[in-house]
Every structure is written in C-alpha cells, then in structure tokens.
C-alpha cells in the first residue's frame, strides 16, 4: 500500500510539474528524451511557434534551450535542434535573439569541431526555410496548412548563406551553390507561398482558381525579386577580397548554368545582362 501511495504521489507530482512547465522547456525535454518521431515533430513546432507567438522572455529561454541542444554530444540531438534554431534565427524580431542564434549557426558551419554531416544538415535546414518548405502546421476552418516564412525573412536567410560561403569547405561550397541553383528555378506554388502573400484562406481553398491564381501571381513577382536579390548578393560576394581561387570558380559556374535553367526568359536576360564576375 505504501508503495502504491508513493507511486501515485510521484505521478501527481510529475503531472503538476509538467502542467506548470513553460512550453519551451517542455519541448526541450521531449527532444532530449523521446525517440518518437511524432513527439519530436510536435515539440519542434511548439518551439517554432514561440518565435512569433511567445513573449520575449519565452523566446529567449526557448532559443537558449535550442543552442544548448545544438551543442549536445549526441549527434541525433544536435540535428533535432537545427530546424527550430534556423526558424528562430530568421523569424524572431528580437535583436538579442537573432544575434545569438546567428552566431550559433555561423559557428556550426565554420568551426572545425563540428562534423561535415552536421554542417550539411544546417545548410539543408536553411535551404528548406528559404524554399518555404519549413514552418508550422496550422489549421484554418478545419483544414491544415503550412505557415512558412515571409519573403523578408527568407531574404535574411539567403544573405546569411551567401555571407557564410567563403568560410565553408570546398564540398560545402558546392552544396551551397547547389542550393542557390535550385532556388533560381523554384516554382511559385500555394504551398511555398509566404503567409504575407497567401493568407490561410488562400492556402486552404479547395478550388484552385481565382484566389489561388491571384496569390501565385503575386508570389511569382516577389519570388523573382528574391532571385534577383540572391544574384546581387553573389555579385557583391565576388567583389570581396576574401573569396578567391576555387571558391570563385564554383560560383562563376552559375553563369553557364543560368543559360540551361528552367526560368522565364525575362529573368534569364536580367541574369545574363549582369553576369557574375
């Protein structure tokens, strides 16, 4: 009987603790203890929501948990931290949080202590953010949709990846150029459309006509501007003295690739009129 009472007490104590635990800490505990993919996905999205919906205090605590997790000695836990950390880096409007998380991402990509696989995972998650494939699953009128990043937030991530390029290994530079190339041919869809252009109603409407077409047209204009911004950032990078040799040649290869890319003739002509050099 005494053992039963003790067990019940521990269950009640744990339930009380769990109910009073801030979302960030609760999600952090799940990511460090659970092996269930569904639990991990839900915990990741709960952390990501804090970047836009949480108080500054909650954001700072959650971002701190993510930075701590990203430095774990366990590779699987490191990688679990990257997706929400990338989200916090480019979505949070708090300068202190951005500064700390930017430094952490840059450190992962440039410090020798981290494996190439971990660095590649980081580049992958930044690219998923840029392509609009990363976000939180939300519900509008009983229909689920992906709430992804705004155009300005994606531009922030693009410039981060371009800025990090000179400090990457030659292999990761090639991977980054692959990301740049893939982004240049990215097709505008309702799924990758930013939330400031395609609202929840547009993202969940069943009839793909009217509102969806309007959203795609607006998104196509914004997306082409992002592609031009990427091209301009690469031009600026090539003008810097810190990039030379093979790093430069890898980027210059994009000039030839643009000719073969499946993009509009108008956009291709703009690239060709201002080649990387």
For residues 142 and 217, membership in a common domain is answered with yes
For residues 102 and 159, membership in a common domain is answered with no
For residues 180 and 56, membership in a common domain is answered with no
Number of structural domains the chain divides into: 2
The whole-angstrom separation of Cα 238 and Cα 255 is: 13
67, 83, 114: which is the final residue of a domain?
Answer: 114
Domain of 72, in residue numbers: 23-114
Q: What is the pLDDT of residue 258?
A: 84
Residue 42: closest CA among 57, 54, 56, 26 = 26
Give the pTM: 0.86
For residues 141 and 181, membership in a common domain is answered with yes
CB 245 within 8 A of CB 171: no
The answer to whether residue 5 sits within a structural domain is no
For 148-184, write each residue's pLDDT tens digit.
999 999 999 999 999 999 999 989 999 999 999 999 9
Higher pLDDT, 28 or 133: 133
The answer to whether residue 12 sits within a structural domain is no
SS3 277: coil
Q: What is the pLDDT of residue 232?
A: 95
Residue 178: closest CA among 190, 165, 189, 167 = 165
Bridge partner residues of 202 (DSSP)? none
């Amino acid at each position: 009987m005494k053992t039963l009472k003790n067990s019940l007490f521990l269950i009640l104590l744990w339930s009380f603790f769990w109910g009073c635990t801030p979302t960030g800490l609760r999600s952090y505990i799940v990511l460090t203890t659970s092996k269930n993919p569904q639990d991990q996905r839900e915990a990741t999205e709960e952390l990501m929501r804090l970047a836009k919906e949480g108080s500054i205090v909650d954001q700072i605590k959650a971002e701190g948990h993510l930075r701590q997790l990203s430095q774990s000695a366990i590779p699987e836990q490191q990688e679990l931290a990257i997706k929400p950390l990338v989200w916090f880096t480019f979505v949070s409007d708090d300068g202190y949080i951005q500064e700390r998380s930017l430094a952490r991402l840059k450190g992962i990509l440039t410090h020798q202590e981290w494996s190439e696989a971990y660095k590649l995972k980081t580049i992958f998650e930044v690219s998923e953010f840029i392509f609009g494939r990363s976000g939180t699953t939300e519900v509008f009128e009983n229909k689920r949709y992906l709430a992804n990043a705004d155009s300005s937030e994606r531009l922030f991530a693009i410039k981060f990846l371009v800025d990090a390029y000179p400090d990457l290994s030659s292999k990761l530079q090639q991977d980054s150029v692959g990301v740049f190339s893939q982004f240049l041919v990215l097709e505008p869809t309702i799924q990758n459309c930013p939330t400031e252009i395609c609202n929840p109603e547009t993202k969940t409407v069943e009839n793909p006509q009217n509102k969806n077409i309007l959203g795609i047209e607006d998104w196509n204009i914004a997306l082409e501007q992002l592609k031009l911004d990427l091209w301009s950032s690469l031009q600026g990078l090539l003008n810097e003295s810190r990039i030379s040799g093979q790093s430069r040649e890898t980027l210059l290869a994009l000039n030839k690739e643009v000719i073969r890319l499946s993009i509009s003739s108008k956009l291709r002509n703009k690239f060709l009129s201002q080649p990387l050099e």
